[in-house]
């Protein structure tokens, strides 16, 4: 059973999830946080996050004719309070995603494949390869993308790539190139939560490694494998790096004589 998402607040707002909100949500969240003791101290941070997805303008002339002009431009107008004594009237408007240059890593997962196709169609001319690599990387972080270029009369051939992709839920954009057509297929990638183990300090790490119970400890070889993120464990590389680290240590830095150790110290 899918867990219901908790309602967002100013404290839990990020430059990613802020794209899930609309203008009225911002006014509601701000009002709910007005009585928080730390509201004033964190106000600059809250505004920075909100402004990553919304345009905010302070309405200094509070007259009906002025407010109507803001509303005609797509702004939602409302009053916000900063503390017990100061308040202001804001016009808030969510930033539209109209061009490929409006796409970011923060908002790419908050648009549909159909919206992406609309954005691509509005900005295109040369096809997928006309996009910069940075824009491609942003798009592909949220969508599966594939392309094909075929003669116009062969593009929708039964059983071909076009039919298979559409049946698999892909949105498609067709770009005419003379007698040929480039088809760009897009489908949102599923979001996968990857829980990560996090330690606040080394004491927490030591607590998890209970040295009193040796039966729970893995074999020496297994411990090396667990600590190495690379599946291709290179023993020669480890030995070489360990040797180099030992060799480059300056014996004078160890100050052995200050520790009462003689040059004839036998490590056996």
pLDDT in tens, 153-188: 999 999 999 999 999 999 999 999 899 999 999 999
CA gap 161, 155 in Å, rounded:
8
pLDDT above 90 for 204: no
CA gap 44, 249 in Å, rounded:
48
* Across 65-79, 109-123, 216-230, 234-248, least confident range: 234-248
pLDDT at 5: 57
pLDDT in tens, 89-130: 999 999 999 999 999 999 999 999 999 999 999 886 778 999
For the chain, percent of residues with pLDDT exceeding 70: 69
CA gap 148, 131 in Å, rounded:
16
pLDDT at 194: 55
* Across 34-43, 70-79, 182-191, least confident range: 34-43
pLDDT above 50 for 190: yes
Q: Which helix (H) or strand (E) holds 165?
A: helix 161-167
Q: What is the pTM of this model?
A: 0.66
pLDDT at 229: 47
* Alpha helices by DSSP H, 16-157: 23-33, 39-51, 64-72, 113-123, 133-142
Angle, helix 23-33 to helix 39-51, in steps of 10 degrees: 170
For the chain, percent of residues with pLDDT exceeding 90: 57
Phi-psi region of 128 (alpha: psi -120 to 50; beta: other; left: phi over 0): alpha
pLDDT at 224: 40
pLDDT at 241: 41
Place of tokens 């480059």: 248
CA gap 265, 178 in Å, rounded:
83
pLDDT at 246: 39
Reported as a pLDDT band with limits 50, 70 and 90, residue 152 is very high
Q: Which residues does 23 contact at the CB level (< 8 Å), separation at least 6?
A: 54, 75, 76, 92, 93, 94
């Amino acid at each position: 059973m899918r867990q219901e998402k908790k309602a967002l607040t100013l404290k839990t707002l990020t430059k990613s999830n802020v794209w899930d909100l609309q203008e009225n949500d911002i006014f509601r969240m701000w009002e709910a946080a007005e009585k928080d003791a730390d509201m004033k101290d964190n106000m600059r941070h809250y505004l920075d996050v909100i402004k990553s997805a919304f345009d905010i303008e302070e309405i200094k002339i509070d007259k009906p004719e002025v407010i109507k002009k803001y509303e005609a431009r797509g702004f939602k107008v409302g009053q916000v309070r900063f503390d017990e004594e100061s308040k202001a009237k804001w016009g808030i408007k969510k930033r539209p995603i109209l061009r490929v240059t409006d796409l970011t890593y923060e908002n790419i997962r908050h648009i549909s494949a159909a919206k992406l196709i609309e954005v691509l169609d509005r900005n295109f001319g040369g096809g997928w390869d006309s996009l910069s690599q940075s824009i491609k990387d942003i798009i592909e972080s949220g969508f599966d993308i594939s392309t094909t270029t075929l003669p116009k009369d062969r593009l929708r051939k039964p059983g071909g790539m076009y039919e298979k992709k559409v049946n698999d839920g892909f949105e498609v954009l067709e770009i005419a190139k003379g007698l040929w057509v480039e088809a760009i297929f897009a489908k949102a990638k599923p979001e996968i939560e990857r829980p990560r183990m996090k330690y606040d300090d080394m004491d927490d790490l030591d607590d998890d490694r209970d040295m009193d119970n040796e039966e729970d400890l893995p074999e020496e070889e297994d411990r090396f494998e667990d600590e190495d993120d690379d599946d291709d464990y290179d023993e020669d590389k480890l030995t070489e790096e360990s040797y180099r680290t030992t060799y480059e240590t300056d014996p004078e830095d160890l100050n052995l004589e200050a520790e009462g150790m003689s040059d004839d110290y036998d490590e056996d």
